[in-house]
Amino acid sequence: MNSNIVLGVTGSIAAFKAAELASQLTRRGCDVHVVLTADALRFITELPFKTLSRHPVMTDLYDEEEGWKPAHIKLADEADLLLVAPATANTIAKLALGLANDALSCVALALNSQARLLIAPAMNGNMWLHAATQQNVATLKARGAEFIGPEEGLLSCGYEGLGRLWPVDQVADRAVELAGQRPKG
């Protein structure tokens, strides 16, 4: 059985890298379902994700497929892994606080107890290092979430430092590994 990965893409300039991530996960045999936040749609459209994942892309909490079950609940029930890449400071805060006001945050809050959560941050270095963000990261780690990155380098804001999305191939490697570790039964 293929691993079922929900890829949450948030509003970072690194959102374009998530298309390559979806492609790599699909090529590795994963069943990839993409959820784009409204802010992610400011950086990239749903078309590349729909084509690369071979599945409809969820962009709104009220996107519905056929059937009676709300789409966000179906995704949360069937996920082996929720991968949020890139993850903004805003999304990390929402996940830490348990806010559920869009499709991605609702999927995260409804995630089945067997699924893993992998977060790949991408943001300005000062935002990453801010005490509020670090407290939110600690909260999520205490609940079992795993973080990959960020890495150091030239940031889109022109600063040099910590905040870049971890290399896509390494995020894909870890996602495949974690999705396969879902306890069965």
pTM reported for the whole predicted model: 0.94
Q: Which residues pair with 82 in a beta bridge?
A: 6, 117
Domains and CATH numbers, the chain: 4-179 (3.40.50.1950)
45-90 pLDDT, tens digit each: 999 999 999 999 999 988 766 667 788 899 999 999 999 999 999 9
* Dihedral over Cα of 167, 7, 84, 125: its sign: positive
| Banded model confidence at residue 184, pLDDT cuts 50, 70, 90 | very low
Query: Is 157 assigned a catalytic role?
Result: yes
Pairing of strands 116-121, 160-164: unpaired
CA distance 5 to 75: 9
Task: Output the CA–CA distances (angstroms, integers) from residue 98 to 61, 111, 142, 154, in the order listed.
Answer: 16, 12, 14, 32
Half-sphere CA count of 138, side-chain side, radius 13 A: 7
Task: Say if CB 163 and CB 124 are below 8 A apart.
Answer: yes
CA distance 26 to 152: 28
Mean pLDDT of 33-56: 96
119-148 pLDDT, tens digit each: 999 999 999 999 999 999 999 999 999 999
Which phi and psi (to 5°) does residue 170 adopt?
A: -75, -35
CA distance 152 to 165: 9
pLDDT of residue 155: 73
CA distance 84 to 82: 6
Task: Say if CB 19 and CB 50 are below 8 A apart.
Answer: no
| Banded model confidence at residue 156, pLDDT cuts 50, 70, 90 | confident
Mean pLDDT of 27-32: 96
CA distance 17 to 31: 18
Chain-wide mean pLDDT for the chain? 92
Q: Decide if pLDDT at 20 tops 80.
A: yes
Q: Decide if pLDDT at 115 tops 90.
A: yes
Of residues 73, 132, 138, 157, which has the active-site annotation?
Answer: 157
Structure tokens at 8: 């949450």
